[in-house]
Amino acid sequence: MNATNIVPPESDVSALVMDGVSFSYGKQQVLHDVSLTVPAGRSVAIVGPSGSGKSTLLSIVLGLLKPDAGRIRITGKPVDAGLSGATSRLRRETIGMVFQSGYLLNELSPVENVMLSALAAGVDAGEARKRAEHALSELGLAELERPVGTYSGGEQQRVAIGRALVNSPQLLVADEPTASLDPDNRQAVVDLLLGQASTRGCGILLVTHDMSVAERADAVLRLADGRLEPQL
């Protein structure tokens, strides 16, 4: 299935639209005319070998790199590269990010880790804690006060998902979120992650090397030599 055809062109219900995006590092072209649609409430997985441009694509989606050509929109709003107030606000308010390594603060509790994202978005401390506790409860983490460094890898990734969800993003981006997990935890995290498309209605863009993970998404695309194609 080609992700650009998941919804009809006339639909405006799209968490992410990339249209004709190209990018080069000097003379090396990394992305060639990449177009991609992630509708709200659906998930799209991107697979591809190391060096195929997956990290560059994610950096452009997050507004960390400026493409040489093409446009990126999240819920209809243009994404401009840089650290301007408008770009940072769009990133905080509309995008949740889950990394391969959780990048959690081990000495803080799960609630405190999740609260940080809400506080960064300007939410007051009381509301931030309420949101964090609710997000973690939904993800099945009953013990909320132990230092996060004492939790298992699977539990830490659930905390990372909670942090990504605390501001109710319209686009959830996950970069190799199961790479460091054992098979049981891998499937549990995938269930939780992809389940957010239906329970919260957000679009999900998942980058992974693991086809057993990618095939759980609504659509699977392959990035090779800078070009995005349906995975056969």
- Residue 10: give the domain boundaries: 3-230
Name the one residue in this structure whose structure tokens are 């090779």. 224
Q: What is the CATH number of the domain that holds 154?
A: 3.40.50.300
What three-state secondary structure class fits 181?
coil
Token pair listed for 180: 């460091």
> What average pLDDT does the segment 37-49 reach?
94
pLDDT score, position 186? 86
Average pLDDT over residues 139-157: 84
- pLDDT, residue 218, reads 95
Cα end-to-end span (Å), the chain: 9
Contacts of 74 (CB under 8 A, 6+ apart): 15, 16, 61, 90, 94, 95, 170, 171
Residue 10 has pLDDT above 80, yes or no: no
Mean pLDDT score of the chain, rounded to an integer?
Answer: 86
Total domains in the chain come to 1
Query: pLDDT digits over 44-64, tens only?
Result: 999 988 888 898 999 999 888
Does 110 have pLDDT greater than 70?
A: yes
User: pLDDT digit string (tens) for 123-139?
Assistant: 999 999 999 998 888 88
DSSP, residue by residue, 77-146: EEP--SS-HHHHHHHHHHEEEE-SS----TTS-HHHHHHHHHHHTT--HHHHHHHHHHHHHHTT----SS
The DSSP call for residue 53 is: S
